[in-house]
């Protein structure tokens, strides 16, 4: 995978094609074979492509439903790249799984990918019984940026009284805040593949703006106005990270002076739909039961830990699994023998165990 990322950058510099095209081709080249235990269909939910998976075994009643949002920084990912994950969830939890084919940046920058995901989710909630699903037992699952979208969608829907409530949100190493890229996990794991700190922020800002932005001052926090930093420090702060997660070293650094020009370029990064960690408490306390998975060797580890604290502080039940040997994107290797890591399977098994506990 690291080779694929590097090849995309190389070909882009030569002017042959955009790096994201190469990445998408590579991820779609994953061989998936067939699954005789499932029926799958490509459908369209209010204009958004989806792939739906049904177990072939007869069900006594309506099944649980799972909405799956893939990772890829909103720039890559697809049905095909997510096939093994969705099949495993459908088979092992006896659920109907909807994999959402949201549009991708930079062609369709924020908020298009998350709004596509929201549209598909609302359609499924409204029409769940048509797909053999109990509308009151639908969980939304996302990894990496898909976890960001899942968290944002849950927040958007808590005030919708015309829809069934989502039963749970499953957030697998999600990106959740853009206010501090110097938290312990960002320092400790800044050079850990596959998500280097500088690469991650570049990808995130490309998803946000559709453009290339110099990230050096963003890493130092120059994009955050003083009043905003003051408002959110109770939620986004290394002080809220348990001490055991600082054992590999952490040095607090003062942020760089505020840059108005930089802020204007990236100011939408402060929106809760892009950074769900900064939504107000009255929304947080209405969120459904939550599963959170974090990995030790992941710059986004502390985003998950900070969100866990916010949820628990507001009375939301949380199931948290931390993988001491895990790294960002470990789930992407699930089922790809011989590339699968022990943490890849642990991650998937923890998710399925939680989903099975939800019904009824």
Residue 219 and residue 270: Cα distance in Å, rounded? 15
At 125-172, the pLDDT tens digits run 999 999 999 999 999 999 999 999 999 999 999 999 999 999 999 999
182 is catalytic: no
At 79-134, the pLDDT tens digits run 988 999 999 999 999 999 999 999 999 999 999 999 999 999 999 999 999 999 99
Residue 214 and residue 219: Cα distance in Å, rounded? 10
145 is catalytic: no
Share of the chain above pLDDT 90, in %: 84
At 24-72, the pLDDT tens digits run 666 666 656 788 899 999 999 999 999 999 999 999 899 999 999 999 9
Helix axes 83-93 and 342-356, enclosed angle (nearest 10):
40
Q: Which long-range contacts (CB under 8 A, 24 or more apart) does 122-131 make?
A: 122/46, 122/157, 122/163, 123/45, 123/46, 123/48, 124/45, 124/65, 124/67, 124/98, 125/157, 125/163, 125/164, 125/166, 126/163, 128/62, 128/65, 128/164, 129/62, 131/52, 131/54, 131/65, 131/96, 131/98
Strand partners, 69: 142
Greatest mean pLDDT among 2-11, 199-208, 282-291: 282-291
- Of 134, 298, 302, 303, the active-site residue reads 298
Of 90, 138, 99, 32, residue with least CA distance to 352: 90
What confidence score (pLDDT) does residue 5 get? 47
328 is catalytic: yes
- Of 328, 343, 344, 350, the active-site residue reads 328
What domains appear along the chain, each with residue ranges and CATH number?
1-30 (no CATH), 32-178+275-358 (3.40.50.1820)
- Of 144, 145, 343, 344, the active-site residue reads 144
Of 272, 333, 288, 50, residue with least CA distance to 171: 288
At 174-225, the pLDDT tens digits run 999 999 999 999 999 999 988 999 999 999 999 999 988 889 999 999 999 9
């Amino acid at each position: 995978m690291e080779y694929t990322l590097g090849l995309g950058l190389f070909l882009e510099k030569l002017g042959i094609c955009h790096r994201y095209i190469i990445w998408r081709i590579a991820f779609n080249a994953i061989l998936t074979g067939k699954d005789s235990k499932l029926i799958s269909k490509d459908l369209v939910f209010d204009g958004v492509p989806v792939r739906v998976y049904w177990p072939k075994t007869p069900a006594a009643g309506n099944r649980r439903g799972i909405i799956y949002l893939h990772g890829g920084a909103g720039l890559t990912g697809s049905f095909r790249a997510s096939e093994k994950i969705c099949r495993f969830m459908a088979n092992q939890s006896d659920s109907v799984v909807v994999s959402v084919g949201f549009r991708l940046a930079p062609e369709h920058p924020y908020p298009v990918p998350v709004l596509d995901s929201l549209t598909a989710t609302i359609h499924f909630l409204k029409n769940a019984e048509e797909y053999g699903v109990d509308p009151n037992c639908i969980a939304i699952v996302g990894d990496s940026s898909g976890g960001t979208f899942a968290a944002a969608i849950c927040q958007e829907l808590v005030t919708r009284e015309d829809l069934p409530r989502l039963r749970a949100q499953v957030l697998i190493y999600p990106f959740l805040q853009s206010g501090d890229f110097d938290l312990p996990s960002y320092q400790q794991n800044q050079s850990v593949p596959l998500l280097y700190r500088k690469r991650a922020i570049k990808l995130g800002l490309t998803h946000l703006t559709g453009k290339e932005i110099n990230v050096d001052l963003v890493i130092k926090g120059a994009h955050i106005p003083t009043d905003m930093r003051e408002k959110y420090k109770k939620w986004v702060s290394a002080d809220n990270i348990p001490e055991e997660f600082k054992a590999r070293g952490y040095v607090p650094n003062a942020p760089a002076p505020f840059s108005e020009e930089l802020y204007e370029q990236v100011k939408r990064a402060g929106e809760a739909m892009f950074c769900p960690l900064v939504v107000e408490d009255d929304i947080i306390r209405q969120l459904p039961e939550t599963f959170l998975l974090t990995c030790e060797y992941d710059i986004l580890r502390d985003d998950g830990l900070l969100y866990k604290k916010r949820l628990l502080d507001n009375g939301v039940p949380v199931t948290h699994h931390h993988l001491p040997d895990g790294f960002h994107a470990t789930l992407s290797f699930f089922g790809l023998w011989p590339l699968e890591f022990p943490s890849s399977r642990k991650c998937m098994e923890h998710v399925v165990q939680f989903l099975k506990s939800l019904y009824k």
